Homo-oligomer: A and B are copies of this chain.
């Protein structure tokens, strides 16, 4: 699809067709397109739990204000943001380092400095850990919602849920923040979309404080 058609066509839809499934192959394409997002030092501190099982989706739904779209959509995604995704020794931090060395943009002599910078920027306070994890997971999630639209799917991002309840229910380790859930599936064609909501204009977004 044309880029603008994807951006303006993406809507948070409330109604999914429960009879239309998404194949694993299609979900894989959506997620791998989303993973083209940039991230801090290419650390990609995002993961997902993919729920297809009706019982599992219902357990999630009950922790998300019982919104029917969680179970009606064929797939519910729990997006995870890894607040430890900058730490030396972490599986993907080490993989990222090896990949950088292999690409010729890093070497062992610079490793100590790289670790120090990552700690300073992403790990030196709880605020920085949360900002690092949520910012990068949101780059990924935004790409996911757009990629889904491009493949003819619709999504609904949700942050109205019991984060501690979801953590407990799905045994999610403490290093993950849970920035959002995403329902993904096909729009239920007998339903109507609400008109698009308002958005800030350029003049409402651009600020300055030095005059």
From B127, B139, B160, contact of A130 by CB (8 A): B127
What separation, in Å, do the CA atoms of A32 and B207 have in the docked complex? 15
Q: Which residues of B contact A195 (CB under 8 A)?
A: 103
Which of A15-23, A185-193, A196-204 contacts its partner? A196-204
Number of copies: 2
Q: Are B42 and A4 in contact (CB under 8 A)?
A: no
* Cα distance A40–B160 in the bound complex, in angstroms: 9
- Whether a CB of chain B sits under 8 angstroms from the CB of A183 is no
Which parts of A5-61 form the interface with B (CB within 8 Å)?
6-8, 10, 12, 27-28, 31-33, 35-38, 40, 42, 44, 46-50
Taking a contact as CB atoms closer than 8 A, the residue among B95, B145, B206 that contacts A50 in the complex is B206
Q: Which residues of the partner chain B approach A134 to less than 8 Å between Cβ atoms?
A: 130-131, 134-135, 138
List, in ascending order, chain B residues with CB within 8 A of A103's CB.
194-195, 197-198
- Which of B46, B131, B171, B206 is within 8 Å of A210, CB to CB? B171
Cα of A201 to Cα of B31 in the assembled complex, Å: 8
A199–chain B nearest beta-carbon distance, Å: 5
Determine whether A173 belongs to the interface, using a CB cutoff of 8 Å to chain B: yes
Kindly state the separation between the CA atoms of A106 and B204 in the bound complex, as whole angstroms. 23
Residues of A within 8 A of B (CB): 1-4, 6-8, 10, 12, 27-28, 31-33, 35-38, 40, 42, 44, 46-50, 80, 92, 95-96, 99-100, 103, 105, 117, 121, 126-127, 130-132, 134-139, 141-143, 145-147, 150, 157, 159-160, 170-173, 177, 179-180, 194-195, 197-202, 204-210
Give 16 A-B contacts (CB < 8 Å), ordered by A residue: A1-B2, A2-B2, A3-B3, A4-B33, A7-B33, A7-B147, A31-B206, A35-B201, A38-B157, A42-B198, A92-B200, A100-B197, A134-B138, A135-B180, A138-B142, A146-B146
